[in-house]
Structure 1
Amino acid sequence: MKKSLLILSLLFATQYFFSCSKDEEEFFVNEDAATFAEIGTLDIGDVGAAEISAYDPQTKRLFVVNNGTVNKIDVIDFADPTKLQVISSISMAPYGGAVNSVSVSNGKLAAAIEASDKQANGKVVVFNTSDYKEVKVVNVGALPDMVTYTPDGNYILTANEGEPNATYTNDPVGSVSIIAVNNNYTVNTIDFSSFATQQTALMAKGLRIFGLNATFAKDIEPEYIAVSDDSKTAWVTLQENNAIAKLNIETKTITSIFPLGFKDYNLDANAVDISDRDNVIAPAKWNVKGMYQPDAIAFMEQGGIPYLFTANEGDSREYDAFAEIKRVASLKLDPTNFPDATFIQTAKAGRLNVTTTLGDTDGDGDYDFLYSLGARSFSVWNGNDGNLLFDSKNELDTKIIAAGVYDDTRSDDKSIEPEGITIGKVGNKKVAFVGMERVDAVAVYDVSVPTSPVFLQIIKCGDAPEGVLFIPAKNSPIQKSLLVVSSENDGVIKVYKPNTL
């Protein structure tokens, strides 16, 4: 009897092993990450439509933010990515203003919704992905701009930007909300006030605190969140502040703020075109610095090191009561640091937009240094200490110029504006996808060695790509890796697939 049981146990274990191995083999597809090509497209509106998308593998549906004519989430049948169609929509009217972001986990859709009064606290609303019924409404901080589930599905996190009103008389505190899914969606909203005593030291390293009469906590503006694979740690971009914050999800505390410093455009590898009136696309070295100011951030762990990938878009504060940007030609420059009188000409640096909040280091009324917005690149940072491990320098500009789609009218501002970034595994390679808002394209990189990304291809997409979503083959409705790009200026969603080897 015991012998028979042993044999049966061995047979069961063997069957289980081969079953698991077979499943794993089925989910691996040998694909060429340099061959992504469009297989499907859908237009769901105009400006304000198709900002962010989230995919539910259980229902094979795509949920897309659409703030075009009315504030809603469009539901798209994604069972056949070549034949996309809107099958329903979820109205945001009962919950407040615009919906800014969506995320899916375990058959639940989380939506970040700002209040009708943007300076008031917003909401996260959870819906079933099957029938779109409301599951829970949770109050979070002001202007929740991005929402994401942790990989284990146990928490929902929001980056609450807390932007001021036009007159700067109401500037909400920037915060992050942590929602415990399995504890009846209990929420903890935390701000950055505990770092106020470190303001001087952090600003010396490149953190920006510069709003009109703002306190430290009010000036911080969280933008985007990436979470570690073990769901214990998150990193939050503070775009206007030129920094990344580190968050301990278990203890619900901000543990670090990493100022990102500045990029030097006076180096050969960083050469860029900074004039929109020179009638030529001509990258060159300039005595100008760039603030990294990342928008989206993505996480990848390798060898025990947390790597943070950022899309360095840049952003400014432009309000009725406070506007930080001016063109170089309108500024008084230090004659020692800027001895060339032609520097401010239209065809040179004169048209470049720079911040007026930095640069007068000696307080004498002229600018000793010039700081432009963004870094025209994507970067890789060490998530433990915030150190810069890689920057694409001017390669994105160079590749876009070579592809013939560079927009010279943006040279004086933030150029290509890398905004979205995500990472996925395609075949045997880890791959990063970088959405560039002003050239309507996505750059694809092999990041298998995260400190040495290798360019693979440029993909053309809709107007102003905002959402860059990767669907791994194991979750894909066609069991092939898919890239979904949603664009906010034309409401177009495009789906791409690589070749199978």
Structure 2
Amino acid sequence: MKKYGITLLAAIMVLSSCENDSNKEESPELVVNENAATFKEIGSITIGGAGAAEISAYDEVSKKLFTVNNSNTNRIDVIDLSNPSSPVFLTSIDLTSFNGTSNSVATYNGKLAVALEAKPNKQDAGKVVVFDTANYSVIKEITVGALPDMITFSPDGNYIMTANEGEPNDTYTIDPDGSVSIIAVNSNYAVTTLNFGSFSNQLSTLKTKGFRIASPTNNFTSDIEPEYITISADSKTAWVTLQENNGVAKIDLATKTITNVFPLGYKDYNLAENTIDISDKDGGVLANTWKLKGMFQPDAISSFEINKIPYIVTANEGDAREYSAFVDVKRISSSSVILDPIIFPNAAALKAETSMGRLNINTKMGDTDGDGDFDELVSFGARSFSIWNGNTGEMVFDSKNELDKKAQELGIYDDARSDDKSVEPESVVVTKMGDKTILFVGLERVDAVMVYDVSNPVAPKFLQSFKTGDAPEGLLFIPASKSPTKRSLVVVSSEGDGVVKIFQPDLN
């Protein structure tokens, strides 16, 4: 007897060691003999235009997909995913009454949590609204830190966490603390919001390792900008990316304390394995070594465990700050970017648009001797994904220039982005598929997902790529045990065209 293309006698239940961050639950995992190198699109739905499909979360209880839609009105679109090959729009949850703009969604066992930044001033405290996925009634409304940019449930469902970015206003007259909020679901949604002030006395040490604090006030606590959270499978530890600061923080959930801040250092583009194309005006995709450093500045983060060692994987997108009162980015060709004549004796040639001139660098870094010129050049992002030891923050693997190379081989590389973060790794999700640990990497500027086997964290193996909608932002894995088809699914939400696509692998 067969069901969903697998032999029932061959299906066994085991405990999953790693599931998708946005919908984790400590439940038995259905082992399906699937080939992680064969994901293909099986369904698609368009819910609007630009900004319409940013982040999605799946509720296995109702078999519904909940997708952020900020294209026209502020709402969450509800999609029936009981047949992933033919997703059906059901309704929308109107969020206008909550005076906030939704940034992220997460689900757990019939609950939908929505992160909303304050309107009209996103510097004010944000909020989390928890809904019932069956009837969309409000279960709870909770105040959190300023600009909650990402939300997730812990695998056991006991916590909801938000990364509160705390961006300043345009004139930098208001710059709220960056923070992380921990909501205890089983304690009537009591909230603890943590800032990073206790680490301010470590600034000089952190800076020597690549951590970045830079603003008109240079205030450590308000300059921190949390971006994305991942939680360990045992729901005891969380890691949060501090994108603009080029770091990752580690949090103990039992004590609700930030225990470590890991500076991520720099990527050396003067090494042969890191050759990249940094000009969109050089007549092609021409990779070279450069006297250049890159901050990793990760956006999304995911976590997994191998041989009892926790690992985190980051999508090293990069990000600058551009406000009327503070701008830290300029092209090397700018007249105000003066290169040290001893370190860069061929400065005029380097500043040409066909050489380094088109590249954006951080103008608040690089003057190491304080004489007004640049002794080193530091760019935004690392054009890669990296794997780090979750206990120590030490790097165990970086994909170097492989994402660029794969995009070129597949004919999807966009040379117009060569000067500005290239393929732009945006999202990462790690999960178990059978006995393998599989990584999905979303690339915002080439509209694709790359798939890797990371069962050996120091030597990931490329498996495949697949095309997505325009500018994929949200990446969601639905394990076979929770899938309506009892087959693993990947859901990609693309904010450029408002398209949600569903992918499924073949059986072995």
Q: Report the equivalent of 1:83.
A: 86
1:454 aligns with 2:466: no
Matched, 1:334 2:351: no
CA distance, structure 1, for counterparts of residue 286 and residue 264 of structure 2: 27
Matched, 1:170 2:170: no
Does residue 49 of structure 2 align to residue 46 of structure 1?
Answer: yes
Ranges of 4+ aligned residues in structure 1 off by more than 6 Å: 18-21
Q: What whole-Å deviation, never above 9, does each CA across 1:347-404 have from its counterpart, x for those lacking one?
A: 0101100010110000111101000100000000011110011000000000001111
Give the conservation status (yes or no) of the 8 Å contact 2:114–2:129. Answer: yes
- Alpha carbons of 1:19 and 1:183: their partners in 2 closer, same or farther (altered >3 Å)? farther
2-side partners of 1:428 and 1:51: how far apart?
Answer: 31
Q: Aligned-residue CA RMSD in angstroms?
A: 1.4
User: In structure 1, which of residues 243, 261, 266 is the aligned counterpart of residue 270 of structure 2?
Assistant: 266
Aligned to 2:30: 27
Q: Secondary structure at the match of 1:194?
A: helix
Task: Report what 2:418 is aligned to.
Answer: 411
CA contact (8 A) 2:177 2:195 kept: yes
Shift of 1:427: 3.4
C-alpha distance after superposition, 1:242-279 (max 9, x if no partner): 00001011111111100000000011110000001011
Deviation digits for residues 15-65 of structure 1 (CA, Å, limit 9, x no counterpart): xxx999855599211111111110001110111111001001111000001
Letter paired with 2:427: G
SS of corresponding position for 2:404: helix
**In 2, distance between residues paired with 1:282 and 1:104?**
44
Deviation at 1:214, TM superposition (A): 3.5
Unaligned runs of 5+ in 1: 1-17
Query: What SS does structure 1 have at the residue aligned with 2:40?
Result: strand
Q: How does 1:382-393 map to 2 (within 5 A)?
A: 382-393=389-400
User: Contact 1:33–1:427 at 8 Å: present in 2 too?
Assistant: no
Pairing 1:129-144 to 2, within 5 Å after superposition: 129-144=133-148
Describe how 1:67-78 pairs up with structure 2 within 5 A: 67-78=70-81
The residue type paired with residue 210 of structure 2 is G
Which structure 2 residues correspond to residues 86-485 of structure 1 after superposition, within 5 A?
86-116=89-119, 117-330=121-334, 331-340=337-346, 341-485=348-492
Q: Deviations over 1:201-237 (max 9, x none)?
A: 1111111000111411000000000101110110000
Local SS of the residue matching 1:182: helix
Number of matched pairs:
484
Q: Distance in 2 between matches of 1:247 and 1:175?
A: 12
- Residue pair 2:247, 2:264 contacting (<8 A) in 1 also: yes
User: Is the 2:12–2:31 Cα contact (8 Å) retained in structure 1?
Assistant: no
Cα deviation for residue 97 of structure 1 reads 2.3
The answer to whether the 8 Å contact 1:171/1:214 transfers is no
Secondary structure at 2:413's aligned position in 1?
Answer: coil
**Structure 2 stretches of 5 or more lacking a match?**
1-7, 15-27
TM-score, normalised with respect to structure 2: 0.94
1:57-76 alpha-carbon deviations (Å, 9 max, x no partner): 11100000111101111010
SS in 1 for 2:273: helix
Superimposed CA distance per residue, residues 186-209 of structure 1 (whole angstroms, 9 cap, x where no aligned partner) = 001110001111111111111100
Identity %: 58
- Aligned with 1:445: secondary structure? strand
Q: For the pair shown, which has the larger CA radius of gyration, 1 or 2?
A: 1
SS in 2 for 1:195: helix
Relative to structure 1, is the Cα distance of residues 494 and 19 closer, same or farther in structure 2, using a 3 angstrom cutoff?
closer
Alpha-carbon distance between aligned partners in 2 of 1:481 and 1:374, rounded to the nearest angstrom: 31
CA contact (8 A) 1:32 1:427 kept: no
1:27, 1:261 → 2: CA distance?
A: 40
With over 3 angstroms needed to count, the CA separation of the structure-2 counterparts of 1:213 and 1:58, relative to structure 1, is same
The code of the aligned residue for 2:426 comes to: E
SS in 2 for 1:237: strand
Is residue 37 from structure 1 mapped to residue 40 from structure 2 by the alignment?
A: yes
**2:350 alignment partner, SS class:** helix
Shift in Å, 1:425:
2.1
**Contact 2:11–2:32, Cα closer than 8 Å, also in 1:** no
